[in-house]
Amino acid sequence: MRVLGSTEEGVGASAPLLTARAVGWSIDGQRILEPLDLDLQEGECLAVIGPNGAGKTTLLRLLAGLLEPTDGRLAWRAAAYADLSRREMARRVAYVPQVRPANLPLTVEQMVLLGRYPHLSPWQMSPGAADLERVDHALTTVGLEALRRRPVDTLSGGERQSVFIAAALAQEAEVLLLDEPTTHLDARHQLEVTRLLGSVRRSGRHSIVLTTHELNLAAKLADRVIALRDGLVAATGPPSEVLRPDPLGEIFDAPFSVVTEGDRSHVVLRLER
């Protein structure tokens, strides 16, 4: 078990938003995620990397409260997850899954409005002016006002990704959990979504945990990287330490180089003959 976060690194005296203590997950006697400790601080961005099947999505779903840990416990500040209702969780944590249902019969603004549902009171039949204002604000933030009446199904992959991020922003959850937010996007849309996440991060209003295969996205956005391999924490630390040829080679079983241009470094996979 590894201790990840402030306890180990001695940074930040404030209480973390999320804490995981010895949290693991097994199914049918098979361990998918070995018990790990994790702290997420306010405003922090954490990137989870690792090969396919390493346990990244499982970790994110545990943090979202969608999967119950088979080991350990999760807490939101001092409150155990088990004591929070789904609604209470949804006001705190927004989860954007990687695989999303096709054929969504909703327009962009209807989809983003779904993010407001955890905030409606139980007797409230429809959203109020404040909810619609949050939707407008989220659409402006992601640059989708012009597409608000378009069916989500008719959007490009990058636009659709932005709609889901807008719904998470409208939810006003402090923590955003994003599963592979740039996967399946072409280069330009990857850049757009990366820029969008950069501005969300700089707003300081959200903590972010994202999983990604885009190591340079992790390098650009993350304060801290956790590398999983076979359900175990293989490496953790700031991007400058983890996103180097040495740990990466072992984690992915593939050769990496670091290319430096001025004051910027990029990680590249070496395709050897």
C-beta of 232: minimal distance to ligand ADP in Å? Answer: 12
In the chain, how many H helices and how many E strands?
10, 13
Q: Which residues bind ligand ADP (CB under 6 A)?
A: 27, 32, 50, 52-58
C-beta of 151: minimal distance to Mg ion in Å? Answer: 27
Q: Indicate whether 58 belongs to the interface with Mg ion (CB under 5 A).
A: no
Site residues for Mg ion, 37-56, by CB under 5 A, read 56
Nearer to Mg ion, 57 or 107 (CB): 57
Among 6, 19, 57, 236, which residue interacts with Mg ion (rule: CB under 5 A)? 57
CA nearest 183: which of 166, 158, 208, 149?
A: 158
C-beta of 177: minimal distance to ligand ADP in Å? Answer: 12
Minimal CB distance residue for Mg ion: 57
Q: Which two tokens stand for residue 112?
A: 């983003």
Residue-by-residue DSSP string for 225-271: EEEEETTEEEEEE-HHHHSSHHHHHHHHTS-EEEEEETTEEEEEE--
Question: What whole-number distance in Å separates Cα of residue 183 and Cα of residue 254?
Answer: 20
Q: Which two tokens stand for residue 14?
A: 């404030």
C-beta of 94: minimal distance to Mg ion in Å? Answer: 17
Count other C-beta atoms under 10 Å from residue 259's C-beta.
Answer: 9
Question: Of ligand ADP, Mg ion, none, which one sits near residue 58, judging by CB under 5 to 8 A according to partner kind?
Answer: ligand ADP
Chain positions contacting Mg ion, by CB under 5 A: 56-57
